[in-house]
């Protein structure tokens, strides 16, 4: 995955993580969202460092007919030319000053992840009892059934 692909994936994973947090994890443990974010970001940074420094041999992709990676520094070429797996090769040749840009892009995954999780919380709701904006497209009958179910659970927990 290239830098631009990783930005899109970071946003998407943040979105999904906010849904999982609201739906399943908030009731049990509030620290899961931080753990999942840390696990994702450390793993993606580790994989990209291995690819960038050519510890992970990416030359096997030359077996695909639409990919032509150069013999010198194929990892850097692969990371800079996002969407090369989909047949879009921008022919960006890594230059000596591009390391600082790649570090900036890699650090920005954290902000894209955070942005995706905040947008996801707006759509899914911040708390377990909030519905979020997706209630606009949710069927009304399902919402009424869920409300009645929550009321029954609430009335069971209240002891006079």
Q: How many CA atoms lie within 13 A of 130 on its CB side?
A: 15
Q: Which residue has the tokens 């009335």?
A: 155
Q: Region 120-125: what's the mean pLDDT?
A: 78
129 CB contacts (<8 Å, ≥6 apart)?
Answer: 150
Contact criterion met (CB below 8 Å) for 7 and 112: yes
* pLDDT interval class at 46 (50, 70, 90): very high
The tokens describing 156, both together, are 């069971």
Query: What is the residue extent of each domain of the chain?
Result: 3-128
The tokens describing 118, both together, are 């905040």
Contact criterion met (CB below 8 Å) for 19 and 120: yes
Query: For 49-89, what is each residue's pLDDT tens digit?
Result: 998 888 888 888 888 888 888 878 888 888 888 888 787 77
Q: Tell me: pLDDT of 126 over 80.
A: no
**pLDDT greater at residue 30 or residue 81:** 81
Q: Tell me: pLDDT of 151 over 60.
A: yes
Which of 9-13, 81-85, 122-126 has the highest mean predicted lDDT (pLDDT)? 9-13
* pLDDT interval class at 42 (50, 70, 90): very high
Query: For 140-150, what is each residue's pLDDT tens digit?
Result: 556 667 777 77
The tokens describing 1, both together, are 């995955």
């Amino acid at each position: 995955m290239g830098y631009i692909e990783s930005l899109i994936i970071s946003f998407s994973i943040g979105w999904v993580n906010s849904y999982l947090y609201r739906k399943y994890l908030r009731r049990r443990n509030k620290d899961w969202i931080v753990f999942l974010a840390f696990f994702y970001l450390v793993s993606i940074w580790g994989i990209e460092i291995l690819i960038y420094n050519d510890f992970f041999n990416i030359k096997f992709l030359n077996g695909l007919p639409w990919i032509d990676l150069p013999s010198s520094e194929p990892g850097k070429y692969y990371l800079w030319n996002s969407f090369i797996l989909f047949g879009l090769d921008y022919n960006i040749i890594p230059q000596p000053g591009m390391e600082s840009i790649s570090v900036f892009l890699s650090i920005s995954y954290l902000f894209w992840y955070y942005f995706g999780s905040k947008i996801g919380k707006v759509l899914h709701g911040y708390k377990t009892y909030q519905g979020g904006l997706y209630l606009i497209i949710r069927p009304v009958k399902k919402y009424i059934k869920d409300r009645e179910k929550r009321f029954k659970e609430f009335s069971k927990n209240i002891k006079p």
